[in-house]
Amino acid sequence: MRTFCWLFLVGVLAHCREPRPAAKPPGDRINGLSLVAPIRQVDSSILGPVRAVGANWVALMPYAFGEMGQPTLHHANSRQWWGERPDGVAAMIQMAHRQGLKVMVKPQIWLRGGEYTGKLTMKSGADWQSWEESYREFILGYARLADSAKAELLCIGTELDGSVAGRPQFWKALIGEIRSVYNGKLTYAANWDTHQVFPHWTLLDYVGVDAYFPLTNDASPSVEDLESAWQPHVKALRNFSNKLSRPILFTEFGYRSVSNCAHKPWVSDTDDPADAQAQRNAYEALFRACWAQPWMVGGFVWKWYEKPIREGRWHRHATDYTPQQKPAEKVLKAWYGGTPETSGSPL
């Protein structure tokens, strides 16, 4: 009996020593939308639908533009869309705050030709240093802007795998510089398959994951099949969060409204047929599998437009990522509004 009690006590103490992120009550959940930057100046009326769907956060995404192998980034110029420039971002933060919304500022890079930023390379160490100085200017400018406008969260980078892996000391120093000018919380948006190798999570507040996890080869799976497919990812995320004592934030999540949308959710240029029900099922399964988990702080839907969408030469609303005007929007509103059909159960 004494042996049993001793083993039981040791087990309890070991469990207590295991770092665990604090559970987030539903009211503190980040129910976010990634706002596509307005082309021209707008007023706060564009945020009415954001609030109507139950969102309490928005992500604003100013862009810098570059090319593979070229060390200079271009940004904050008059040719950019209004919502991608400092004046537009500052105005949007103010509008969001007046509407009772919190803000993540998420500066991003667009590489010419739409190349994946994770594959960014430079020709030499000197070019890498020049690129880092250009990126440093870009991110610190928005860090100062975010601080002056009292934006609640800043994302220091998005899917920059090559830079992070090859130049980790730059990122460590950059985080220190950002902390010196910005007083809010920090995250980094890692791709779903590289978040475990980002070396500096303990210097940030949230583990940011762009949650495009592959789930199934089935073109039109059920919610139950998708929820089951989530379980290995849920377990891995839970263990990683516990290891670091940091909550997980889905810095991006979403699915195109096409058949096979849960196979490779990050692929945006397939010719799969429109399938709004497949998108709806994928949303429902993600919320059931993840939203009630104690390690989950919330996330940002990819993506949300400023006004109703029309089919056209440059846009295919029927197969886009946005849930707007589709069955997935009702799922989003139910979960963000706290009235889902089922909340699932944490593992």
- Type and span of the H or E element at 334: helix 327-336
Structure tokens at 267: 């692929």
Number of domains in the chain: 1
Residue 13 located in a structural domain: no
Residue that is written with structure tokens 């509004």 in the block = 337
pLDDT of amino acid 143:
98
Paired tokens of 231? 């379980």
Q: Mapped to the 3 state alphabet, what secondary structure does 82-133 carry?
A: HHHCHHHHHHHHHHHHHCCCEEEECCEEEEHHHCCHHHCCCCCHHHHHHHHH
Matching residue, tokens 């510089």: 177
Is 344 contained in some domain? no
Domain annotation covers residue 5: no
Note if the bond before 303 is cis, omega within 30 degrees: yes
Q: Which CATH number do you get for residue 277? A: 3.20.20.80
Instruction: Output the six-digit token pair for 98.
Output: 């007046």
What are the residues whose beta carbons fall under 8 Å from the beta carbon of 110, sequence distance 6 or more?
A: 63, 64, 65, 66
Looking at residue 223, its amino acid is V
Classify residue 272: in a domain, yes or no.
yes
Residue 16 domain-assigned (yes or no): no
* Poorest-pLDDT segment among 5-19, 141-155, 246-260: 5-19
pLDDT band with cut points at 50, 70 and 90 for residue 3: very low
Q: Domain of 95?
A: 21-336
**Would residue 285 count as lying in a domain?**
yes
Residue 207 in this model has a pLDDT that exceeds 50: yes
With beta carbons less than 8 A apart as the criterion, state whether 60 and 103 touch.
yes
Q: Is residue 3 part of a domain?
A: no
Flag whether pLDDT at 9 surpasses 50. Answer: no
- Give per-residue pLDDT as tens, 104-156: 999 999 999 999 999 999 999 999 999 999 999 999 999 999 999 999 999 99
Instruction: Please report, in angstroms and rounded to a whole number, the separation of the first and last CA atoms in the chain.
Output: 31
Asked if the structure places residue 1 within a domain, the reply is no
| pLDDT tens, residue by residue, 327-342 | 999 999 999 998 886 5
Bigger pLDDT: 346 vs 28: 28
- What are the angstrom distances between the C-alpha of 312 and each of 299, 305, 316, 326? 29, 15, 6, 17
